[in-house]
Chains A and B, each alone.
Chain A
């Protein structure tokens, strides 16, 4: 093994300043490596892609066969100062600012020894993986075409897809068999929720703390798909709820005096249908190409709630369908739409119930309302379609879990890390659940009876207590998720209209109009700022830091491989993982390898 030093240079799209000589040599030497598979005890081949060192230091890592852990990465940029450090097992060349070699590998490695394949590895067992990893390392020169930094987030199938595409385009089929393998392998272990709390801050857990590093380059703009967060579905929510509002305005007896034309509803409905289709398509592409990013969004304590948003948006579409398009929707549509919601709920409420690291007292935040509102919206739709039992089912489940969530959020437990310390538009989500629940109950019972009124008044109270604090809603960075916070306002307006149908008097009517106007203006304002950010500032989709947090907090630790010549001031991401400090978890979404619960390893 002595002689098998692999000199890997990862190139990027723009070729670095590394002299071509080195490249040439490396590619030559590495030809033979494919046959050396046997010499490489199945290391974890995640290495390659995984660590993208965060800071712009170019680094070259030279790894000995046994340890496949290092991974290089790095993109160039600026300095070329490279340090070469040797250790018994690794030869690491870094520049002064050293990049972390982020290992997201098996937590308990204290030595660079060959590692057993982690259990979560989705595909390919040892041999083939190794081979691929080898090849990956071994043919760096050819990879100049594509930016490899984002490969860790790519899906295997996505890699294959790209290969096909590149073949079609006439490029040489780069030894890209391994391109795919990379990706998810590196992250077979789910990020524990504590990592998100540690690394991110801000009311939407979007901003990186200064002590943290991310795994993707900070300065470069990432591929569009990687920048497309799941909270974009909030736009669908905002627009489709507007469609419902204008439909209600046009068809309600109490607002007839306004003579609202049903065309507005029609236009808005078509717009939202197109929007939903587009965003769905884009997100499905992201799912196909960057599955890892989607996964990380799923494990994000706030973003996970936005996974309900697409289905709620579809429900809104069904609720707001213009009478001219169709009068009656088929009942099976309801079952189809509610199935994903039911499935997601079973997963997420189960996580709350079984304790563990994703228990409610820890992760509760206003966005959790999104997971509860879906129940009520489904109940509303079902009741308006004429179903009886289904709506009651979802209403009951939603009500029970809403009670829990409501109490928890009001408590603002000190153990809760996610609640924003200051007011933020996300708080408007508080208004969503009671207003939709009141409408659903009214539809189920046939009239706006006492139960609905109680829920409605609660919603109204929450709305006003937030509206009078409007001053405190300033000074926040605009984000796409704000669209999601408009639908509660619209929902309150619609509930008011329904209420005024039951109790028509001047107060309720004026309240209708006022709330409808407020919600419309908010949406228009939001639309304008979205357009502004999209075309003028061009930062509608900034780099999605939240999904790129590294696996391990950077900290120096004792088992450093000996590096000499390294002058870096910052710590380098350590290779060796300590045992995770998480408590043993009952939750199956924390697949930490432990001696007892080995069956928890598969990320679910």
Chain B
């Protein structure tokens, strides 16, 4: 394993030296011990480097899974393109979903281990203005998987229990973080900590609202929705004002600017689930998301610096585009017409392309997945 190799460079030497010393009798047992040791070392290495930002990967996969579920679900959109898309074999979708489940489970497990063994690092993440927002990412991913699960229908008891399991941490985090924005001291003021990743807290609420609405729990859906939207309003204004200039986001993290249009996209989907219909408010949110997307796409210079080397922040591109594609699908369903369907197809193609290329890039550059100078990790690693 490549990853193993880079973590355990120091081990090899040790292994070789020791191997030479011991005699052949013990060779087998010692080599076993060494592989165990090197395994432990590599895992420790991974745990040290795996910060919450890696959940972007599970976010993307979850988003894709939900997108495809939306597409192959029965719909009253009678257009040809939708018809063609719905002919996608459900087996492909199940494979996709299982893959997302596997990745999410793996990441969650690793992160859990990190909490157990390196709690100090997790705490530092929590205190960092960018890292703290990614603590929402696992829960969002779980929500996405829950909604796209092929075998759990929304009105079952399993769904309900799982919804509670995922919502409670989100609300706890909400209370902590939003409360900090307006009560705590200087360093936690919204104007100083606001950055595009703060949208993740908003998205967390909105996704929870959507999941609740699917269950039929309208009140909690509206509750979470209003919570998300009001903080989105504050965040939107603050981020546009940019009081403190460059907003302290390292250049490598510029891909998170895509979260700007992820939030209204999720809001649009959530409102649609609540009301049942893609009404004017959903349309307005969808259009806002579309406008922000166009505005970012027209500014490639913003992202140039972060595109020089592969790093896990690139995964931040995928989820927002997927969300936009989902919203456009619902929009096309509501507003029948060629333009909307063309838009839907374009966004779908873009979303699939982005996710696929990211996967490819990651597999090709798996060594760089856990780099030594990751922007967030470097701040957190002592």
Taking beta carbons and an 8 Å cutoff, which residues of A are in contact with B?
346-347, 349-350, 352-356, 359-361, 364, 389, 392-393, 395-397, 399-401, 403-404, 407-408, 413, 415, 583-584, 586, 588, 596-597, 599-600
Q: Which residues of B contact A399 (CB under 8 A)?
A: 284
Q: Could you say which of A360, A403, A586 contacts B233, with CB atoms under 8 Å apart?
A: A403
In the complex, which residue of chain B has the Cβ closest to the Cβ of A355? B242
Pull 14 A–B residue pairs with CB atoms less than 8 Å apart, ordered by A: A349-B295, A350-B296, A350-B298, A350-B299, A353-B240, A356-B246, A360-B241, A393-B290, A396-B287, A399-B284, A403-B236, A408-B237, A584-B246, A599-B301
Q: Is the CB of B237 within 8 A of A597?
A: no
Chain A: minimal CB distance from B91 (Å): 37
Q: Which residues of B contact A349 (CB under 8 A)?
A: 295
Q: Which residues of B contact A407 (CB under 8 A)?
A: 237, 241
Q: Is the CB of B299 within 8 A of A354?
A: yes
Q: Is the CB of A404 within 8 A of B236?
A: yes
Beyond A352-B240, A599-B301, is A583–B246 a contact (Cβ under 8 Å)?
A: yes
Q: Is the CB of A346 within 8 A of B298?
A: yes
B302 within 8 A of A: yes
A interface, over-half SS: helix
Q: Which residues of B contact A359 (CB under 8 A)?
A: 241-242, 245
Q: Is the CB of B246 within 8 A of A355?
A: yes
Beyond A389-B283, A586-B302, A599-B304, is A355–B294 a contact (Cβ under 8 Å)?
A: no
Chain A: minimal CB distance from B333 (Å): 14
Q: Is the CB of B335 within 8 A of A346?
A: no
Q: Is the CB of A396 within 8 A of B246?
A: no
B352 within 8 A of A: no
Residues of B65-123 at the interface with A, using a CB-CB cut-off of 8 Å, are: none
B212 within 8 A of A: no
Chain A: minimal CB distance from B239 (Å): 7
Give the complex CA separation of A599 and B236 in angstroms: 29
Q: Which residues of A contact B305 (CB under 8 A)?
A: 596-597
Residues of B271-304 at the interface with A, using a CB-CB cut-off of 8 Å, are: 280, 283-285, 287-288, 290-292, 294-296, 298-299, 301-302, 304
B165 within 8 A of A: no
Chain A: minimal CB distance from B190 (Å): 13
Q: Could you say which of B236, B245, B280, B301 contacts A583, with CB atoms under 8 Å apart?
A: B245
Give the complex CA separation of A404 and B287 in angstroms: 17
Q: Which residues of A contact B288 (CB under 8 A)?
A: 396-397, 400
B247 within 8 A of A: yes
Q: Could you say which of A355, A360, A393 contacts B287, with CB atoms under 8 Å apart?
A: A393
B168 within 8 A of A: no
Q: Is the CB of A600 within 8 A of B301?
A: yes
Q: Is the CB of B246 within 8 A of A586?
A: yes
B260 within 8 A of A: yes
Q: Which residues of A contact B243 (CB under 8 A)?
A: 361, 413, 415
Give the complex CA separation of A584 and B290 in angstroms: 28
Q: Which residues of A contact B292 (CB under 8 A)?
A: 353
Chain B: minimal CB distance from A367 (Å): 17
Beyond A355-B242, A404-B237, is A396–B299 a contact (Cβ under 8 Å)?
A: no
Give the complex CA separation of A59 and B295 in angstroms: 48
Q: Could you say which of A396, A404, A586, A588 contacts B241, with CB atoms under 8 Å apart?
A: A404
Q: Could you say which of B285, B299, B302, B335 contacts A389, with CB atoms under 8 Å apart?
A: B335
Q: Which residues of B contact A584 (CB under 8 A)?
A: 246
In the complex, which residue of chain B has the Cβ closest to the Cβ of A357? B245
Q: Which residues of B contact A353 (CB under 8 A)?
A: 239-240, 260, 292, 295
